[in-house]
Amino acid sequence: MFAISTMTATTSVRPLTLNQYLSYTENLDTRYELFSGTLVEMPPEADENNDIARYLMFELAKHFPIKHLAHKDTEIEVSGQRVSCRIPDLLVHSEASKTAIAGTKRATITHEMPPSLLVVEVVSPGKVNRDRDYRYKHTEYMARCIAEYWIVDPELRQVTVCRWDNGLYEDTVFAADEPLKSSLVNDFSLSPSQVLGSN
C-alpha cells in the first residue's frame, strides 16, 4: 500500500517513486498531487478560485498561444526531500516544455524536461494552503527555474509576482489598482482589483 494523505489524516506505508505515481491507476476520479512521496487528495476548489484562474487564462490567451496554456491539467515534478509533483491552477508552457510533453501519455513536466514559463496559484483559505503557496511552492518553482510564479490571494486582495533572477525569486506585491508588471508580458495591464473582482 502507498502513502495517501487527506486534509485531515495520513495513511502511511511507503513513499511512492515518480514512476509509481505516474502509473497509479486506483481512484482515478480523485485528483491527487504527489508531495514528498505521498499522494495528497486535492479537494474541489472554491468556485471563486476557479473563476479567477479561468479569467486569467483568457487574459493570458491574448499574449500566448492557446495551446501553451494549461488550466489544472499539467503537473510539474519539483524537488523536495522525496519526489513531489504539483498541479498549478494555471500554467503557461515555454515552447520547449510544450514540445517536451507532446506525445506523452501524461502531461507531466519531469526534471529532465525544460521548465514552463509561468505558473499561477490562487490561494485557498487557511494556514495550510497559505504556507503551501507562499513557502513550499515558492521554493519548489524557484528550484525548477520557472521564469515567473504568480500568487493570487483573494483573502489579502493582492497578487505577488515572483520573477526568477540568478537562481532566486524577486517578489513584488501588487494591490488595489496597481497594474501587474511581468517580464514575460510587457503590456500586461490588469490590476489585482480587476483580477480579483472578475468573478
**Reduced to 3 states, what is the DSSP secondary structure of residue 152?**
strand
Q: Are 168 and 142 in contact (CB under 8 A)?
A: yes
Question: What would the grid cell of residue 122 be?
Answer: 490562487
Residue 194 vs residues 62, 136, 159, 179, 183: alpha-carbon distances, Å = 16, 27, 11, 9, 20
Helix (H) or strand (E) holding 196: helix 192-196
Residue 98 vs residues 72, 79, 91, 141: alpha-carbon distances, Å = 15, 20, 11, 17
Question: What counts of helices (H) and strands (E) characterise the chain?
Answer: 6, 13
Q: What average pLDDT values come out for the chain (199 residues) when binned by 10 residues?
A: 45 73 73 83 87 96 97 91 87 98 94 97 92 95 97 97 96 97 92 84
What is the structure's pLDDT at 166? Answer: 93
Question: What would the grid cell of residue 118 be?
Answer: 509561468
Nearest-angstrom CA–CA distance, 161 and 163 = 6
- For the chain, list the domains and their CATH numbers: 1-43 (no CATH), 45-74+86-196 (3.90.1570.10)
Question: What would the grid cell of residue 4 be?
Answer: 495517501
Q: What residues contact residue 187 under an 8 Å CB cut-off, 6+ apart?
A: 63
